[in-house]
Structure 1
Amino acid sequence: MKTFSKLPLVALAALTFSCEQPDELAEKKAELATAKTEYHDLRVKIEALEKEISAMDTTFAKQNRKSVLITTVKSQKQPFEHYVEVTGSVLSKKNVNISAEVSGRVEEIKAMEGMHVSKGAVLARIDAESVDNSIDELEKQLELANILYEKQKRLWDKQIGTEVQYLESKNRKETLEKNLASLKTQKGKATITAPFDGTVEEVTVRLGELVQPGMPIINFVGESDLYIEGDISESYVGVLERGDSVQVEFPSLNREIDTKVTAVGAIINPDNRTFKVEVFLPKLKHVKPNMVSVLRIKDYQNQDAVTVPTNLIQRDNKGEYVYVVDNNTAKKQYVSKGETYEHVSEIKEGLKGGEAIIEKGFREVADGSKVQIVEN
């Protein structure tokens, strides 16, 4: 009976709590709505007062203006260099087509594409059977001519016979000797040899093929006397000269070298309005003819230049300008820009170096905006 008598009391307490909780929540919501209304009215009143006071007092307007968060970068006083960048190609002064000098069939090909050979190495041979036959015939004729000449000379020394007979025998012997020497030279041309140290690039004939004098047989490239050639815009005529320094980059090798201009073309190509520039290339491992390179030729330098990042320079109707910080205020500073290279611009006029240039946030400010410099 005691346990049963407590149940109505618990139920009554729960009912009382459930009734009190909604009332308290409703009161807080009503209180929040009232506070928001008061805040809105107060903010409107504050803004109205600020406008009225700002119209009456310009100093108050400047002091009350919100600061823009920015970062800055110093204008630098440092050496500045400008380079002309063009694509160049590695070439060889010893890139030759070796041609046949005699007629005949190709009887032997020793050269293979990609083979490295030394000067004088045999690359191919052309059949010289007809030349050999002519040499044999001339040697027999020369043998007889020598015998007749010796006999005629002995007789002439003894004042026997005529001078004409002696001169005829001598002339015949010398003529046959010259003809024999010519045939032997011709036979030597049937053997094709490397004119210098290099690499066989291409073999253009096949074994047994008939060739004629002047017909290309082998494309041969020397590994020395390499150079780089590039096309430069005609706007740089008179700017680039022989001896100018050049930075050369080989993208495929991930390598850079410093060298010089060795020759400047005197003719403008009418198709692309460029002229040729030749750059000296020292002997380098893995550098091969026709390899692509990037030439950076210095055409301007200033050892005491004022520079700023190019992206911070803006333009309006009056000209180009940057924003500098002056007493926590953004100031529009007009500048005269010089050359630009690798995202850095030379400033000819307007800056002396060391000024705080607005970097991050430079598009959010205006002339006279209050700013606050932050680290990040």
Structure 2
Amino acid sequence: MKSFNKFSPLIALAFLAFSCGPKDEIAAKHAELEELKAQSNEISTSIAELEAELTKLDPEFAKQNKKSVLITTAEAKKGEFDHYVEVTGSVLSKKNVMISAETSGRILEIPVLEGMRVTKGTVMARIDSESLQRNIDELENSLELATTLFEKQERLWNQQIGTEVQYLEAKNRKEGLERNLATAKTNLAKAVITAPFSGTLESIEVRLGELVQPGMGMFQFVGESDLFIEADISESYIGVLSKGDSVEVNFPSINKELQTKVSSIGAIINPNNRTFKVEVYLPNLPMVKPNMISVLKILDYQNANAVVVPSHLILSDNRGDYVFVVEDGKALKKYVERGKTFDRETEILSGLKGGETLVDKGFREVGDNFNVNIAQQ
């Protein structure tokens, strides 16, 4: 125990020296850091003061000293550019007809309904034909008598008995009754209204028991064949569009697309809306119905070697149209001549060669000769 007590003060001093060493080192580094920060602040303040003074004295330095703007980029593409006339059209039928009565009478039967699809020859209405039938019966009886009299007169004439006038009168009476009977039978057939071709009964314009007269409209009937699309095109495209031009047709209601051609171009300008009619050929498609809305894209311009840029990147000033091109970390203003625009892309006729890097996002924050920093995409 005595030997341990003899050395205990020395051990305590050694422990104290060891414990104070790292603390002194940390304190020294903190002091050094604070001193460097103070120097940095002084340097930053001096730099800012000098930059402010130079900005006032030297305009070129002011331009070069602007902070970099964070941007993304897009490429000026070189390749094919197609321009389309895009309009809304309606499906029509060349067999869209109003079926009218051809004889007078009261309607006895209408066995069809609106919207019904019928085939050629289907009975659509029956008109009272009792008076026509009685007329036919009377004519048949008269014709029978006239035929008998003519045959007797003919035999007498062949035997050179009687006069030629008697023979001709008998013959004329018989032939006249034959013609009247044929006409009456034709009118009787018209008392039954049938579908002239296969199609859809769009509307019924008459009611059961109603009295109809020749020429009175009875049924609006639309055929399912010979469909076409009609659209109104602005007169500014006169001479641009021609028969046979390619057309892309989209039917939004059935999500159907097809490729077809212009079949006819109108020769008259509508004075109300300054447009002319264009007809587009439509193949027979089961899902396409008359009056269906369609969107037409008619190709009117094509350039196989065009420079194309996104339309929203083109800006304008009092000198003209321009875009910002990235070169050596700077945004440079390039004036361009624009051509046609379609589907958010614009053809550039001059000012760009293709392949240039354009300022995309951030193009409204930059100016000519601004420093830019391209963000990672």
For 1:135, the aligned partner's letter is I
Residue-by-residue CA offset, 1:140-179 (whole Å, 9 max, x unaligned)? 1100111111111111111121111111111111000000
Q: Using the TM superposition, give the Cα deviation of residue 240 of structure 1 relative to its aligned residue in structure 2, in angstroms.
A: 1.2
1: CA distance, partners of 2:55 / 2:315: 30
In structure 1, the partner of 2:120 is 119
The residue correspondences of 1:33-48 to structure 2 (distance < 5 A) are 42-48=43-49
In structure 1, the partner of 2:152 is 151
The residue correspondences of 1:81-100 to structure 2 (distance < 5 A) are 81-100=82-101
In structure 2, the partner of 1:313 is 314
| Contact 2:310–2:345 (Cα < 8 Å) also in 1 | yes
1: CA distance, partners of 2:35 / 2:204: 97
Greater Cα shift, 129-138 or 55-64: 55-64
2: CA distance, partners of 1:43 / 1:225: 82
Q: Indicate the percent of aligned positions where both proteins have the same amino acid.
A: 62
Q: Using the TM superposition, give the Cα deviation of residue 278 of structure 1 relative to its aligned residue in structure 2, in angstroms.
A: 0.9
Greater Cα shift, 176-185 or 270-279: 270-279
In structure 2, the partner of 1:286 is 287
Q: Kindly tell me: are residues 348 and 158 of structure 1, through their superposed partners in 2, closer, same or farther at Cα, counting changes over 3 Å? A: same
* Residue 330 of structure 1 pairs with residue 331 of structure 2: yes
In structure 2, the partner of 1:224 is 225
Q: Kindly tell me: are residues 57 and 98 of structure 1, through their superposed partners in 2, closer, same or farther at Cα, counting changes over 3 Å? A: closer
Q: Using the TM superposition, give the Cα deviation of residue 97 of structure 1 relative to its aligned residue in structure 2, in angstroms.
A: 1.0
Aligned with 1:335: secondary structure? strand
Aligned with 1:272: secondary structure? coil
Q: Using the TM superposition, give the Cα deviation of residue 50 of structure 1 relative to its aligned residue in structure 2, in angstroms.
A: 3.0
Greater Cα shift, 167-176 or 62-71: 62-71
Greater Cα shift, 300-309 or 357-366: 357-366
* Residue 357 of structure 1 pairs with residue 354 of structure 2: no
Aligned with 2:209: secondary structure? coil
Q: Kindly tell me: are residues 155 and 63 of structure 1, through their superposed partners in 2, closer, same or farther at Cα, counting changes over 3 Å? A: closer
In structure 2, the partner of 1:198 is 199
2: CA distance, partners of 1:65 / 1:212: 89
| Contact 2:64–2:370 (Cα < 8 Å) also in 1 | no
* Residue 344 of structure 1 pairs with residue 350 of structure 2: no
In structure 1, the partner of 2:370 is 369
For 2:143, the aligned partner's letter is L
Structure 1 spans left out of the alignment, 5+ residues: 1-32
Q: Using the TM superposition, give the Cα deviation of residue 79 of structure 1 relative to its aligned residue in structure 2, in angstroms.
A: 0.7
Residue-by-residue CA offset, 1:195-226 (whole Å, 9 max, x unaligned)? 00111111121111111111111111101111
Q: Using the TM superposition, give the Cα deviation of residue 259 of structure 1 relative to its aligned residue in structure 2, in angstroms.
A: 1.0
Aligned with 1:45: secondary structure? helix
The residue correspondences of 1:57-206 to structure 2 (distance < 5 A) are 65-206=66-207
Aligned with 2:206: secondary structure? coil
Q: Kindly tell me: are residues 178 and 356 of structure 1, through their superposed partners in 2, closer, same or farther at Cα, counting changes over 3 Å? A: same
The residue correspondences of 1:255-270 to structure 2 (distance < 5 A) are 255-270=256-271
Aligned with 1:141: secondary structure? helix
For 2:173, the aligned partner's letter is R
Residue-by-residue CA offset, 1:256-311 (whole Å, 9 max, x unaligned)? 11111111111111111111111111111221111111111111111111000001
Q: TM-score, normalised by structure 2?
A: 0.86
In structure 2, the partner of 1:10 is none
For 1:113, the aligned partner's letter is E
2: CA distance, partners of 1:309 / 1:107: 68
2: CA distance, partners of 1:358 / 1:160: 115
Q: Kindly tell me: are residues 361 and 147 of structure 1, through their superposed partners in 2, closer, same or farther at Cα, counting changes over 3 Å? A: same
For 2:193, the aligned partner's letter is I
2: CA distance, partners of 1:99 / 1:57: 91
Aligned-residue CA RMSD (Å): 2.4
Residue-by-residue CA offset, 1:310-349 (whole Å, 9 max, x unaligned)? 0111111111111111122211111000000011000000
2: CA distance, partners of 1:55 / 1:210: 98
In structure 2, the partner of 1:30 is none
Q: Kindly tell me: are residues 136 and 305 of structure 1, through their superposed partners in 2, closer, same or farther at Cα, counting changes over 3 Å? A: same
Residue-by-residue CA offset, 1:65-123 (whole Å, 9 max, x unaligned)? 53322221111111111111111111111111111111110011112112211111111
For 1:291, the aligned partner's letter is M
In structure 2, the partner of 1:3 is none
In structure 2, the partner of 1:8 is none
Q: Using the TM superposition, give the Cα deviation of residue 373 of structure 1 relative to its aligned residue in structure 2, in angstroms.
A: 2.1
1: CA distance, partners of 2:321 / 2:64: 29
Q: Using the TM superposition, give the Cα deviation of residue 242 of structure 1 relative to its aligned residue in structure 2, in angstroms.
A: 1.1
Aligned with 2:92: secondary structure? strand
Aligned with 1:243: secondary structure? coil
* Residue 299 of structure 1 pairs with residue 300 of structure 2: yes
For 1:142, the aligned partner's letter is L
2: CA distance, partners of 1:204 / 1:372: 73
Greater Cα shift, 181-190 or 42-51: 42-51
Structure 2 spans left out of the alignment, 5+ residues: 1-33
Q: Using the TM superposition, give the Cα deviation of residue 39 of structure 1 relative to its aligned residue in structure 2, in angstroms.
A: 6.8
Equivalent residue pairs, number: 345
The residue correspondences of 1:241-260 to structure 2 (distance < 5 A) are 241-260=242-261
Q: Kindly tell me: are residues 57 and 276 of structure 1, through their superposed partners in 2, closer, same or farther at Cα, counting changes over 3 Å? A: closer
Q: Kindly tell me: are residues 35 and 221 of structure 1, through their superposed partners in 2, closer, same or farther at Cα, counting changes over 3 Å? A: same
Residue-by-residue CA offset, 1:212-246 (whole Å, 9 max, x unaligned)? 11111111110111111111111111111111111
For 1:178, the aligned partner's letter is R
In structure 2, the partner of 1:233 is 234
1: CA distance, partners of 2:285 / 2:298: 20
